[in-house]
Structure formats: C-alpha cells, structure tokens
C-alpha cells in the first residue's frame, strides 16, 4: 500500500495535478470521525487508511501553507453537536494534523453540514478565500440539507470552495453529498476500494499542498544529511525495545525554556524505526505509546548520533468484555480506565491498550450491568483476560389486550424489585416504545408503564445469558373525544371515593383528544363556555370509543 501511495504522489506532482488546483490562502480538512469509519476496505479500517495517507501527504506540505483540521462524531454517540477543531489553521501544521488524526476514536453521528459551516466560518469565508476538504464515508444524519447549505455558503463567500471525498458511497449516496462540492465550484471524488481510496485521498490532500502556486520552480533541495538522532523505548527497565509500525510510538521534541522546562514545540514523528536530524543543541524529548509516556533532556552534538532510550513505565491491558461465559465479545461494551484514581480513557469493545503501570481501576459496562476490576500491574506486564459482565436480556412487549400490540410510544421504566426502607425502588433504566429490550444484571425487577390514563407495574426476572419475554397487558382501550373547539376535557373514573371525589385519569383540549384508558366506566367532563357537559362512557379492552360533544348540550358549573 505504501508503494502505491508513493507512486501516486509522484504521479500527481509530475502531471502538475490533473485536477484543478485549490485556489485558497487558507484551508481546513474535515475528517469523518463517525462510528462507520471502523468499517473496512480491503481488510483495513477506513480510519486507518485515512491516517496513513495523511501522514505521508502532509509530510510534503510547504511550511507557509495555512492548514487546519476538524472532525466530528469522535467523542460520544448520538450527539449532532460533537464537532471539534483539533488543529487551528496555521503554517507548518502537517505533523500536528497527522498526530491529531491518530487520536480520533470514531463512534458517533455524521453532522456533515454543520461541520462544513463551522469550518467556513473559522476561515472567515465572507472576507477572504477559503477552502474546505470534506472526507466522509456516510451521509448527513443530523437533519440539515447539505445542498442548501452549500448554496448559502457560495452566495455569501468571497471565494469559497468545498471538495468532497466519499468513502465507499453508492452513486445515489454520492449525489446526496456531491452538491456540497458542485454548488461551491469544487470537486466530488468517489472511492469504492482500497486503491481508489488511497488515490482519492492522495489527490485531494496533494491539491492542498499545491494550493499556493510557486512563482518559479524551486531549486532541488540539498541532500539530507545522515541522521544524528535515533531514539528507542521500552515499557520497563531492561525490557525489550518496542517495535511499532502503525504510528503507535510517538516522538515529540521541544526547545528548552530558560527554567529548564519544555519550550517551543519543534516537531513530531512516529514508529520505532525513526531516524532524524536536528541542529546541534539541547532539547527535551517525549516518547508516548498509548497512555504511557516518558520525557528526558537530549543533547545533539555535531558529528555524533544521539541514541537516547526512554522507559515508558507502561503495561499492556487486554480486556475482552462478554455478556456471559462463552458469549462473543460485545462491541458496544464500554471500558472506563483509571490510573491511581485519575481518569485515563474510555474504550469500546475488545480492548488492547498500553496504560501506565501501577494501580488500575476498570469499569466494564454492558447495557445496565457493570463490573469493576482492579489491577496492580508492573511495568512491562500484560493483563489479558475475559471480563464476564453477567447480563440477560428482557424483551418487554406492550399490548392493549392479548394479540393487540401497542404501537404508540408507551413509557416504561425498570426498577429493582427490592424496596428501600422508605418504600422507594432504585430506577435502573427507561425507554419509550411498544417493543423494548433491556440488558440487565441477573435479578428481580418491576416494569412500571404509563400510556395516557393507563398505568401499572409488571414484575419480572432476568437470568444471565437468557432472554426473558415480558408481556405488558394494559387491558385498555382508546377514548376519542371530539369537541366544537379547543374546549377543556377531563376524564374521571365513574366511581366516587368515600369523600365524594372521582379520580382523574386524563385531561387536555379539543377539538380532538385521544387517550388510552384501562377497561372500565368513566365520566367525560367537557367545558364549553360557562357550561360543563358530563357524559358517561364505558371503555373495553382492545376497543375504541368515539364521543362527540355538541355545543348546545351542557349544564352550568
């Protein structure tokens, strides 16, 4: 794959970039960080291909090109506002962008339009040239029209352009995002396999590198001197040197401030085979793998090769969360890791991380069930274990009567069956809908439901690795009341308590009011002007009762 990329880069440069160059002073790359980026092309995750290509292409950027980097959907699921500028537009940001891409953990929504809009605003597109490069493998999922957005940005911008790169999109899907490019004078590039994806990414990002045309051909660069700096790292003192070929090992170096601390940032590189050249002098260098890192001063002397060794004091944590013994790993399981009480990260599904050695606390959650693990792990040690969370599935099906499902959004809240001394129960989870599933620890529960005036509780139990079918039979029907206008309607039980009061089951306003009610006798009180109409009705389970209240009827309050 690397040979293919190098060839494509050379071809693009040699041909003078067959596609039109991006005429922009400043640009922002927007990279899709939604959960679908874990999908694979030719056996490799899309996010991995994007990272690798960014590393190679951005290494060739001219130092004065102002380039920024934004992503979305990388911090939490279901949040359309999860958009973040990871690297502000500035000169010399290639290494910082590549490093930021390495840290993206795709998991959330695809707010394409809002991301492009925010990027355009950050580039001050109404005042100067601006270009956005959107790299996405999915369609808009946040109810914003990308075509309308593109037309609006084009009409208000000085010289605004969006280029769109589609990962594995069908022709029809591509047309739904291509308008972002077409409506702003940009290009839409499609890639449906590994080679095409590499070519499209290389071509697109290479256009950014060539955004500012040179007034004249630059002279051939001077031959790069032999390296004078070759660091190594290990997890523990005396342990084997780390081998890294996927940008897992990260090197950063800084100037030394007057007080001996880190000064100005100089650069970042990757992998265990890194060999570099620095001007002779004193530096501070860091080595990081996963969540373990080390720092030390390094002196580069003329004519010598510095070979500092870093001890990361790290361990390898491999956890395989399973709902029960023998079950497959749950890809949606969340794994929160803390080191010496301080939060480190949250991972999802099968986990293989480098973490700080020492006291580790881990919470593994599947559905509403959580188990805790504690480890005292030595540097260089590997923890590799299955974590059995112990959950079963309760499937709750709501029915008006047997054989008649509830198709509206009934509210169901699950409580632990045991009551506290004050009579309360602990709430476990809640959802809306007729057919609901809950992943729960083994135990006894109560499902409390509410739909209109129908409410009640259904006890049930859950056993690990088992499916519990829990029918919720409301024994209820539907009351539909039609009034002359927006009249106030209240539904009471027909029976009166010993103090003469009737229980209120539902209330609202006409002209059309509908409510689910348990089978039984009721009185419908309708206020029309200064008059109240009271109509007795009988509701039968699984049946609909329609009542029309006329304006002329009624009695004065």
Please say if the pLDDT value at position 554 is more than 90: no
Range 490-519 average pLDDT? 94
Q: Comparing 293 with 13, which gets the higher pLDDT?
A: 293
* Confidence bin at 65 (pLDDT 50/70/90): confident
Mean pLDDT of 242-260: 87
Question: Among 54-58, 123-127, 293-297, 458-462, which is the least confidently predicted range?
Answer: 54-58
How confident is the model over 72-77, as a mean pLDDT? 89
CA distance 127 to 158: 6
Q: d(Cα 218, Cα 216) in Å, to the nearest integer?
A: 6
Q: If you average pLDDT over each of 93-102, 208-217, 482-491, which comes out highest?
A: 482-491
CA distance 493 to 520: 8
Q: What is the pLDDT of residue 12?
A: 36
Q: Do the domains 232-311 and 2-209 match in fold?
A: no
Higher pLDDT, 15 or 227: 227
Which residues are paired to 415 by β-bridges? 427, 446
Residue of 167, 201, 161, 197 lying closest to 180 (CA atoms): 161
**CATH superfamily of domain region 476-556:** Carboxypeptidase-like, regulatory domain (2.60.40.1120)
Instruction: Render pLDDT for 132-161 as a digit per residue (tens, 0 to 9).
Output: 989 888 888 888 888 988 899 899 988 888
Strand order across the 83-91 sheet = 83-91, 66-72, 26-32, 129-136, 159-167, 188-191
Least confident of 2-11, 30-39, 274-283, 442-451: 2-11
Query: 105-114, 309-318, 511-520 — which is least confidently predicted?
Result: 105-114
User: What is the 8-class DSSP label of residue 241?
Assistant: B
Q: What is the pLDDT at residue 210?
A: 58
β-strand pairing of 159-167 with 129-136: parallel
Give the ranges where 64-124 is alpha helix by DSSP (H): 94-102, 112-122
- Residue from 40, 61, 45, 51 nearest 86 by CA: 51
| Mean pLDDT along residues 452-470 | 96
- Whether the pLDDT of residue 371 is over 90: the answer is yes
Mean pLDDT of the region 72-82: 89
Q: Any residues with CB less than 8 A from the CB of 465 and at least 6 apart, and which? A: 323, 324, 325, 327, 392
Distances (CA, A) of 357 to 148, 377, 547: 52, 5, 71
Angle at CA 86, nearest 5°, toward 84 and 88?
110
- 2-209 topology per CATH: Rossmann fold (3.40.50)
Residue that wins the pLDDT comparison between 463 and 220: 463
Domain 391-473 is found in CATH 2.60.40.1120: yes
Counting residues of the chain whose pLDDT is more than 70, the rounded percentage is: 88
Coil/strand/helix, residue 526: strand
Q: Which CATH superfamily is domain 314-388 in?
A: Immunoglobulins (2.60.40.10)
* Banded pLDDT at 478 (limits 50, 70, 90): very high
Of 210, 220, 222, 206, the C-alpha closest to 277 is: 222
Gap between the Cα atoms of 402 and 141, Å rounded: 37
Sorted by where each begins, the domain ranges of the chain are 2-209, 232-311, 314-388, 391-473, 476-556
- The pairing of strands 544-548 and 454-462 is unpaired
206 against 337, higher pLDDT: 337
Tens of pLDDT, residues 204-217? 666 655 544 445 56
pLDDT digits (tens, 9 = 90+) for 384-437: 999 999 999 999 999 999 999 998 889 999 999 999 999 999 999 999 988 999
Quote the CA–CA distance of 223 and 208 in Å, as a whole number. 25
CA dist 19 and 340 (Å) reads 53
| For the chain, the helix, strand and coil percentages under 3-state DSSP, each to the nearest 5 | 15, 50, 35
On whether the CB atoms of residues 463 and 392 are closer than 8 A, the answer is yes
pLDDT at 171: 81
pLDDT at residue 201 greater than cutoff 70: no
Structure confidence by residue, pLDDT tens digits, 282-303: 999 999 999 999 999 999 999 8
Task: Pick 229 or 138 by higher pLDDT.
Answer: 229
Give pLDDT, residue 315.
95
Choice between 545 and 247, residue whose per-residue pLDDT is larger: 545
Average pLDDT over residues 113-122: 91
CA 106, CA 112: separation in Å to the nearest integer? 14
The pLDDT tens digits of the residues spanning 179-190 come to 888 998 888 888
**Average pLDDT score over residue span 172-196:** 82
Residue 204's pLDDT is what? 62
- pTM value is 0.53
User: In this prediction, what percent of the chain has a pLDDT beyond 90?
Assistant: 58
Question: In the predicted model, what is the mean pLDDT of the chain?
Answer: 87
Q: Does residue 467 register a pLDDT over 90?
A: yes
Spatial separation of the C-alpha atoms in residues 61 and 177, rounded to whole Å? 27
Q: Say which CATH architecture domain 232-311 belongs to.
A: Sandwich (2.60)
Average pLDDT over every residue of 249-264: 92
Note the pLDDT of residue 200: 67
């Amino acid at each position: 794959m690397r040979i293919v990329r190098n060839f494509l880069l050379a071809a693009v440069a040699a041909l003078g970039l067959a596609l039109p160059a991006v005429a922009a002073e400043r640009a922002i790359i927007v990279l899709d960080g939604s959960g679908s980026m874990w999908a694979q092309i030719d056996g490799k995750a899309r996010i991995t291909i994007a990272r690798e290509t960014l590393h190679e292409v951005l290494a060739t950027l001219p130092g004065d090109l102002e380039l920024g980097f934004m992503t979305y959907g990388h911090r939490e699921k279901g949040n359309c506002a999860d958009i973040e500028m990871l690297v502000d537009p500035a000169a010399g940001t290639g290494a910082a962008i590549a490093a930021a891409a390495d840290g993206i953990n795709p998991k959330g929504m695809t707010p394409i339009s809002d991301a492009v809009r925010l990027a355009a605003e950050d580039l001050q597109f109404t005042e100067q040239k601006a270009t956005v490069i959107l790299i996405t493998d999915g369609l808009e999922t946040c109810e914003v029209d990308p075509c309308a957005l593109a037309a609006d940005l084009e009409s208000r911008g000085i010289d605004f352009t969006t280029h769109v790169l589609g990962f594995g999109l069908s022709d029809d899907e591509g047309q739904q995002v291509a308008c972002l490019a077409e409506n702003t004078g940009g290009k839409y590039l499609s890639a449906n396999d590994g080679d095409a994806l590499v070519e499209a990414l290389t071509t697109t990002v290479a256009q950014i590198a060539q955004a500012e045309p040179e007034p004249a051909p630059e002279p051939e660069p001077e031959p790069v001197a032999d390296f004078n700096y070759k660091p190594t790292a290990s997890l523990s003192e005396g342990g084997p040197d780390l081998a890294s070929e996927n940008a897992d090992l990260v090197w950063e170096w800084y100037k030394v401030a007057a007080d001996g601390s880190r000064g100005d940032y100089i650069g970042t590189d990757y992998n265990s085979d890194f060999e570099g050249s620095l001007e002779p002098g004193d530096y501070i260098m860091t080595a990081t793998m996963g969540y373990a890192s080390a720092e030390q001063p390094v002196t580069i002397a003329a004519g010598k090769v510095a070979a500092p060794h870093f001890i990361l004091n790290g361990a390898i944590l491999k956890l395989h969360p399973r709902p029960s013994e023998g079950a497959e790993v749950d890809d949606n399981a969340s794994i929160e890791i803390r080191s010496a009480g301080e939060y480190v990260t949250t991972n999802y599904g099968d986990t293989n991380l480098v973490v700080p050695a020492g006291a580790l606390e881990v919470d593994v959650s599947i559905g509403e069930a959580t188990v805790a693990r504690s480890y005292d792990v030595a540097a260089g040690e590997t923890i590799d274990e299955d974590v059995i969370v112990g959950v079963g599935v309760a499937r709750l099906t709501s029915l008006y009567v047997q054989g008649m499902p509830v198709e509206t959004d009934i509210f169901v809240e699950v409580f632990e069956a045991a009551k506290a001394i004050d009579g309360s129960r602990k709430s476990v989870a809640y959802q809306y809908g007729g057919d609901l599933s809950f992943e729960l620890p083994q135990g006894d529960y109560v499902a409390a439901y509410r739909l209109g005036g129908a409410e009640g509780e259904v006890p049930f139990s859950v056993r690990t690795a088992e499916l519990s079918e829990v029918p919720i039979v409301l024994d209820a029907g539907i009351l539909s009341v039609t009034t002359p206008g927006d009249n106030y309607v209240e539904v009471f039980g027909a029976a009166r308590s010993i103090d003469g009061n009737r229980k209120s089951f539902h209330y609202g306003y006409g002209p059309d009011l509908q409510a689910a009610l348990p089978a039984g006798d009721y009185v419908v009180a309708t206020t029309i002007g200064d008059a109240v109409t009271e109509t007795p009705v009988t509701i039968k389970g699984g049946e609909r009762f329609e009542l029309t209240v006329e304006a002329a009827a009624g009695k004065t309050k």
